[in-house]
A and B are shown apart, each in its own frame.
Chain A
Amino acid sequence: MSFVSSVVESSPLKKILIANRGEIAVRIARACREMDLSPIAVYSECDRAALHVRFADEAYPIGPSAPRESYLRIDRLIDAAKQAGADAVHPGYGFLAENEDFAAAARDAGLTFIGPTPEAIALMGSKTAARVAAKRAGVPVVPGTEDPLSAEVTDVEIARIADTIGYPLLVKAVAGGGGKGMRTVRDPAELASAVRAARSEAGAAFGDAAVYLERQLTRPRHIEVQLLGDQHGTVLPFVERECSIQRRHQKVVEETPSLAVSPALRVEMTAAAAAVARAVGYTNAGTIEFLLDEDGRFYFLEMNTRLQVEHPITEMVSGVDLVRWQIRIARGERLDLSPERLLTPAGHAIECRIYAEDPDNSFLPSPGRILHLRAPAGPGIRDDSGATAGLDVPIFYDPMISKLIAWAEDRPLALARMRRALGEYIVAGIKTTVPFFTWLFAQPEFVESRFHTTYLDEVLTAREGRPFVEPRPEEEAIATIAAAIQAALSPAAVASASNGAANADAPPGRWKARARTEGLC
């Protein structure tokens, strides 16, 4: 793109309000810095010390910690943007990223919304309307209901519709995303309770209890295509992402390219994705999700009208900064990337989502203070994180603390780098899913890419909660030695733990006194 056209067509942006928190707010602030734009943060009560606040030029409080009272408050976000004199808003992902009212409110307030139009968000945000749009573009969809099933539709009627689709099937929220409001039904007897549960979850999460039914394909892969569309009619697809490693319908590992997609299939799938986006006049970053069955047939699943969590792996194999392009597109610039280049992967990238969860205790959340943190680095490693030592992982939000991305020239090397990086990742004070990933990346099914969307749930059920990392006797011996030396060097550091249980025979004060007399501290 030439300098002249950029000057002519671009509205000048100077300050960007980032309507989000955590790693994605940090990610967007970084893009702003690189473009000489001023990043403006917002924060809830518990996020005052968060990294995204520290990375920003200005930061505005938007209310109590509960998302509904802060990060989901359109009025307060728009107020903060006005107060800061921001001229654009980036929604990140989650929260209000796919809320057409927020995009419209930004537009009405004279702010540039860095994302698609409110109309495109509304259209593709309805899963049933999106299916119709895909069909019109000539792209096959998973067999299912044409219209949303509102709360008025009776159980009897739903059962009749379900029979025409066939079992197993999925009950999904029309306004859904992120696995919420979704239930698998294997048997007609489970249908009514699954619909009830999905409705209640969807109503709570999205404020819309409408659901629809979709046939569950056997052992499909989840393959998605990243797109960028500019305001001048150009839509460009990128190499597919493989996102079949999911737990409870939530992605935990993504990689690109997919070993299940041949170059010929890539041409077909990316063309289909671009056709759907063009059919709805889509602009900015978006993703078309497909299911790929065992026979190599693919079906449109849904469109995400925002930046995805897993966007970095696409950046690694394309060399394109997607957040930078989101901003450039929003200010009217033309997409001048080579379409051929975007469809030719440069190497292989894998991402795992590091969560504050205890994998050895049913993946229960593990909020709390991070006492020590050392992120991996070195060749091919990228850690997109919002966490630092000294920060509390709050109970109010998604427990993802970081995305660890490994890139190398091929998949085995990327996997070797990922394993090496996981070995460097040290987080003390809370539990994380690092030991789970260490286990996963050693499984032959993963190494040989023999998996599908229910692989992980099946293998986790079969494991019945066995620990992912069984400490070796040598590691127990080293831990024993380390605990003894720590107690000798720094009785205070171990005192709270030792104090916890009812026991008064050797209070920490006495160890300390003894340590002093023995000259250990």
Chain B
Amino acid sequence: MQYEIETGGRTRQVTVTRAGDGFTVSVDGRSVQVNAARIDAYTLSLLIDVGATPAPSVGGGPAVGGIQGSHEVTIAPDPVTRQLTVRVGTTPMTVGLNGRRRWGRKEEGGHAASGPQRVVAPMPGKIVRVLVKPGDPVRARQGLVVIEAMKMENELRAARDGTVTEVQAREAMSVDAGTVLVVIA
């Protein structure tokens, strides 16, 4: 099984093959032995290179260092970004599979590092205030829309500088998670 997996802005070529009662996983040419136990639909316990001789590196790829040992990992789809959220211990990461990942972790929520920023509702709620109109120049972290959910008013902000090209949010409008509210070019 071969996958293209992206995390932290880096795409890696990954191959998974059965090896005894575990797997040999090759990441960019460097292999590790993995004993994987499924705990439930979202949880894996991984023993990486534990009690096994590390497989030789194929093709002299970059080393996968410092990952030996026991790791508990949860893997769940993120309903907003529609990527996988993978937690190693309690560290969450957004992971794209087979090149489907679009955006880096820091721009999560639909703010591409280049091209138009589509600011979406991160959760269902009600639009309380719209702070910008088409044509407005905006600075990074400037407030765009105030949305009310879970008893709190939350300000959605611009990820970076730009000009507002579209405002679909209207005051008092109810929105679902993922609804595009403002577009910034």
Contact = CB atoms under 8 A, between A and B. Distances in A.
Contact of B92 (A422, A431, A465): A431
A518 B3 CA distance: 14
A367 B99 CA distance: 27
A473 B30 CA distance: 15
B150 A398 contact: yes
A360 B108 contact: yes
A483 B97 contact: yes
B179 interface: no
Given A497-B77, A497-B83, A503-B100, A481 B25 contact: yes
B150 A397 contact: yes
A489 B40 CA distance: 12
Interface in A41-72: none
A428 interface: yes
A469 B100 CA distance: 24
Given A431-B92, A501-B100, A501-B102, A494 B75 contact: yes
Contacts of A366: 122-123
B124 A395 contact: yes
B88 A484 contact: no
A131 to B, nearest CB: 26
B157 A428 contact: no
B109 interface: yes
Nearest to B22: A485
Given A371-B76, A431-B92, A501-B82, A480 B7 contact: yes
A336 interface: no
B82 A425 contact: no
A515 B98 contact: no
Interface string B1-20: 10101011010101011100
A469 to B, nearest CB: 5
B64 to A, nearest CB: 5
B interface, over-half SS: strand
A178 to B, nearest CB: 9
Interface centre among B1, B7, B122 (most CB of A within 10 A): B1
B114 interface: no
B108 to A, nearest CB: 7
B184 interface: no
Interface in A341-382: 356, 358, 360-368, 371-372
A478 B73 contact: yes
A474 B77 contact: no
Contacts of A429: 42, 76
A259 interface: no
B7 A476 contact: yes
Interface stretch (B31-39, B52-60, B161-169): B31-39
Interface string B165-176: 000000000000
A221 to B, nearest CB: 25
Nearest to B42: A372
Interface string B96-131: 011111100110110000000000001111000000
Interface of A: 356, 358, 360-368, 371-372, 395-399, 422-423, 425-426, 428-429, 431, 434-435, 438, 464-465, 467, 469, 471-490, 493-494, 496-501, 503, 505-506, 511, 514-515, 518-520
28 contacts: A395-B123, A397-B150, A428-B75, A464-B141, A469-B90, A471-B7, A471-B93, A474-B65, A474-B67, A478-B88, A479-B7, A480-B5, A480-B12, A481-B67, A483-B75, A483-B95, A483-B97, A484-B25, A485-B16, A485-B36, A487-B1, A497-B78, A497-B100, A498-B84, A498-B97, A511-B1, A515-B1, A520-B18
Given A428-B87, A490-B38, 18 more contacts: A365-B125, A372-B43, A426-B43, A426-B74, A426-B90, A429-B42, A431-B92, A435-B91, A465-B141, A467-B106, A472-B91, A485-B36, A488-B16, A489-B44, A493-B41, A497-B82, A501-B102, A511-B1
